[in-house]
Amino acid sequence: MRNRSSPVRRLGAGIVALVLTIVISAPRASAEPSPCAGVDYNAKILDIIRTLPTGGGYSLGSSFVSPKLQAHNIGGGNWELRVYDGFPSHCTSATYALFAHLVALLHNGGKITLTPEQLRMLEVKWEMPDGSRLVDGQDPWWIFNSNGAGVAALLKHTGTGMSFRDDKLAYARPGDFLKLFWNGSVGKSEQGHQVVYLGQRKMDGRDMVCFWGSQKQRKKKRGRTQPLYYPARVGGKVHDGYGEVCRPRSDIKAMIFSRITCMENLAAGLAEMRAKADARGTGPHGMPLPFEDSYLKSLRNTSSDQATLDRMYDILPEPSSFAGLTGSTDAASP
pLDDT at 21: 34
Is residue 98 situated within a structural domain?
yes
DSSP string, 94-147: HHHHHHHHHHHHHHHTTSS---HHHHHHTS--SB-TTSPBP-TTBHHHHHHTST
Give the tens place of pLDDT for each residue, 94-106.
999 999 999 999 9
Domain count, the chain: 1
- Looking at residue 63, the DSSP 8-state letter turns out to be T
pLDDT at 198: 98
Is residue 9 situated within a structural domain?
no
| Cα(255)–Cα(14) distance, integer angstroms | 34
| pLDDT(189) > 90 | yes
Is residue 23 situated within a structural domain?
no
Is residue 8 situated within a structural domain?
no
Give the tens place of pLDDT for each residue, 224-258.
999 999 999 888 999 999 999 999 999 999 999 99
Beta bridge partner(s), residue 73: 79
Q: Pick the closest to residue 276 from 121, 71, 48, 99 (CA basis).
A: 121
Is residue 99 situated within a structural domain?
yes
Residue 104's domain comprises 39-319
- Mean pLDDT, residues 45-56 taken together: 98
Contact call for residues 121 and 144 (beta carbons, < 8 A): no
Is residue 10 situated within a structural domain?
no
- Looking at residue 62, the DSSP 8-state letter turns out to be T
| pLDDT(196) > 80 | yes
Is residue 259 situated within a structural domain?
yes
DSSP string, 260-318: E--GGGHHHHHHHHHHHHHTT-B-TTSPBPPPB-HHHHHTTTSEE-HHHHHHHTT-B--
Residues in Cβ contact with 213 at an 8 Å cutoff, skipping those fewer than 6 apart? 91, 94, 95, 193, 194, 195, 196, 242, 243, 245
| pLDDT(2) > 90 | no
Q: How confident is the model at residue 130 (pLDDT cuts 50, 70, 90)?
A: confident
Cα distances (angstroms) measured from residue 303 to each of 73, 140, 191, 213, 256? 43, 22, 12, 25, 17
Q: What is the mean pLDDT of the chain?
A: 87
* DSSP-based three-state secondary structure for 243: strand
Q: How confident is the model at residue 92 (pLDDT cuts 50, 70, 90)?
A: very high
Contact call for residues 104 and 117 (beta carbons, < 8 A): no
| pLDDT(159) > 60 | yes
Contact call for residues 51 and 11 (beta carbons, < 8 A): yes
| pLDDT(274) > 60 | yes
Of residues 138 and 331, which shows the higher confidence score? 138
| pLDDT(18) > 50 | no
Is residue 329 situated within a structural domain?
no
Of 141-155, 170-184, 251-265, 310-324, the poorest mean pLDDT is in 310-324
| Cα(206)–Cα(71) distance, integer angstroms | 46
| pLDDT(157) > 60 | yes
Contact call for residues 174 and 135 (beta carbons, < 8 A): no
Give the tens place of pLDDT for each residue, 293-331.
999 999 999 999 999 999 999 999 976 555 555 444 333
pLDDT at 233: 87
- Mean pLDDT, residues 23-40 taken together: 51
